[in-house]
Chains A and B, each alone.
Chain A
Amino acid sequence: MIDISIKNISKIYVSDFKCKKKTAVQNLSLEIEPGEIFGIIGRNGAGKSTTLKMIMGFITPDSGQIFISGKIPADPDSRCKIGYLPENPYFYDNLTARELLTFSCQASGLDQKTSNQRIELLLKQVGLFAEQNQKLRTYSKGMTQRAGICFALVHDPDIVILDEPMSGLDPMGRKMVIDLILDLKKRGKTVLFCSHILNDVERICDRVAIMDQANLKGIYTKEQILENHGMEELFLKIVQQNELQAK
Chain B
Amino acid sequence: MGRKLFALIFLTFKEGVRDRALVGVGLFSLAMMGGSVMVVNFFMRELHKVSVDINLSAIAFAGLLLTFFVSLNLMSKDMDKHTIYCVLSKPFSRTQYIWGKYLGIMFLIFIAFCILTLCSTATIFFIKSQYEVYFKEFSWLEFYKAIYAQFLMFFILNAFIVFYSTITTSSFITLLFSISTYIAGQTIEEVVLFLQSSQAMEMVMSKTIGSIIGIVQYVLPNLSVFDLKVRSAHALPISFEYLSAITFYCLIYSSVLLISSSLIFNRRELK
Do A and B touch (CB < 8 Å)?
Answer: yes
Chain A interface (Cβ within 8 Å of chain B)?
Answer: 13, 53, 56-60, 76-80, 82-84, 86, 89-95, 99-100, 103-104, 106-109, 135, 151-152
Closest beta carbon of chain B to A13's beta carbon, Å: 7
Q: Within the assembled complex, what's the spacing in Å between the Cα atoms of A104 and B269?
A: 23
A/B interface sample: 14 pairs, CB < 8 A:
A13-B271, A56-B88, A56-B89, A76-B92, A76-B93, A79-B88, A84-B89, A86-B82, A91-B83, A92-B15, A94-B14, A104-B90, A107-B4, A107-B91
Contact of B85 among A58, A76, A80, A100 (CB under 8 A): A58
What residues on B are CB-neighbors of A103 within 8 Å? 7-8, 10-11
Q: A76-B96, A84-B85 are in contact. Are A99 and B14 (CB under 8 A)?
A: yes
Residue of B nearest to A80 (CB): B91
Q: Within the assembled complex, what's the spacing in Å between the Cα atoms of A95 and B82?
A: 15
Evaluate contact between A94 and B15: CB separation under 8 angstroms.
Answer: yes
Evaluate contact between A92 and B91: CB separation under 8 angstroms.
Answer: no
Closest beta carbon of chain B to A104's beta carbon, Å: 7
B203-238 vs A, CB cutoff 8 Å, 1 = contact: the mask equals 000000000000000000000000000000000000
What residues on B are CB-neighbors of A95 within 8 Å? 11, 14-15, 18
What residues on B are CB-neighbors of A152 within 8 Å? 89
Closest beta carbon of chain A to B78's beta carbon, Å: 9
Evaluate contact between A108 and B19: CB separation under 8 angstroms.
Answer: no
What residues on A are CB-neighbors of B14 within 8 Å? 94-95, 99
Interface of A is mostly: mixed
Closest beta carbon of chain A to B6's beta carbon, Å: 8
Evaluate contact between B91 and A77: CB separation under 8 angstroms.
Answer: yes
Evaluate contact between B269 and A58: CB separation under 8 angstroms.
Answer: yes
Instruction: Report which residue of A80, A89, A90, A151 has the largest number of chain B beta carbons within 10 angstroms of its beta carbon.
Output: A90
Q: Within the assembled complex, what's the spacing in Å between the Cα atoms of A83 and B270?
A: 18
Residue of B nearest to A135 (CB): B18
B86 beta carbon closer than 8 Å to chain A: yes
Evaluate contact between A106 and B270: CB separation under 8 angstroms.
Answer: no
Q: In the complex, which range does the number of interface residues on chain B fall in?
A: 20 to 34
A-facing residues in B124-165 (Cβ within 8 Å):
none
What residues on B are CB-neighbors of A76 within 8 Å? 91-93, 96
Residue of A nearest to B8 (CB): A107
Closest beta carbon of chain A to B1's beta carbon, Å: 9
A-facing residues in B1-42 (Cβ within 8 Å):
3-4, 6-8, 10-11, 14-15, 18-19
Q: A94-B18, A94-B19, A95-B14 are in contact. Are A106 and B92 (CB under 8 A)?
A: no
Instruction: Report which residue of B10, B85, B87, B88 has the largest number of chain A beta carbons within 10 angstroms of its beta carbon.
Output: B85
Closest beta carbon of chain B to A85's beta carbon, Å: 9
14 more contacts with CB within 8 A, not counting A76-B92, A90-B83, A95-B15, are A56-B89, A79-B90, A82-B89, A84-B89, A86-B85, A92-B11, A92-B86, A94-B14, A94-B19, A103-B8, A103-B10, A107-B87, A107-B91, A109-B3
A-facing residues in B52-104 (Cβ within 8 Å):
81-83, 85-93, 96
What residues on B are CB-neighbors of A90 within 8 Å? 81-83
The 7 nearest A-B residue pairs measured at CB: A94-B18, A84-B89, A106-B7, A107-B90, A58-B270, A76-B93, A86-B85
What residues on B are CB-neighbors of A78 within 8 Å? 91
Residue of A nearest to B5 (CB): A107
Q: Within the assembled complex, what's the spacing in Å between the Cα atoms of A86 and B87?
A: 11
Closest beta carbon of chain B to A90's beta carbon, Å: 5
What residues on B are CB-neighbors of A91 within 8 Å? 83, 86
Instruction: Report which residue of A77, A83, A106 has the largest number of chain B beta carbons within 10 angstroms of its beta carbon.
Output: A106
What residues on A are CB-neighbors of B19 within 8 Å? 94
Evaluate contact between B85 and A108: CB separation under 8 angstroms.
Answer: no
Closest beta carbon of chain A to B17's beta carbon, Å: 8
What residues on B are CB-neighbors of A89 within 8 Å? 85-86
Closest beta carbon of chain A to B99's beta carbon, Å: 13
Residue of B nearest to A163 (CB): B85
Q: A13-B271, A94-B18 are in contact. Are A79 and B7 (CB under 8 A)?
A: no
What residues on B are CB-neighbors of A79 within 8 Å? 88-92
Residue of B nearest to A82 (CB): B89
